[in-house]
């Protein structure tokens, strides 16, 4: 049974971003899905590192979230 289209990945990214924000850390978008999610959810812009803005524009093909402490 396919999981695509159910919003599961979005829920995982949201939960990860909320935890990272609560810990006071920053992230870099490590894949195009996360980069697109961050584009659509500016409420998480405070969790994105300055480096993440550069990486996000290039929309890398692999990865996910890279947490920066």
pLDDT computed for residue 37 by the predictor: 92
pLDDT computed for residue 47 by the predictor: 87
57 pLDDT more than 80: no
60 pLDDT more than 60: no
The predicted-structure confidence for 5-46, as pLDDT tens digits, reads as follows 888 989 999 998 998 889 888 888 878 888 889 999 999 998
Instruction: Produce one character per residue of 29-58: b if its CB has 16 or more CB atoms within 10 Å, e if not.
Output: bbbebbbebbeeeeebeebbbeebeebbee
């Amino acid at each position: 049974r396919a999981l695509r289209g159910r919003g599961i990945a979005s829920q995982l990214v949201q939960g990860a971003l909320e935890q990272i924000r609560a810990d006071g850390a920053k992230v870099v978008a490590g894949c195009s899905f996360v980069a697109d999610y961050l584009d659509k959810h500016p409420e998480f812009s405070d969790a994105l590192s300055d480096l993440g803005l550069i990486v996000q524009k290039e929309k890398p093909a692999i990865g996910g979230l890279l947490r920066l402490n």
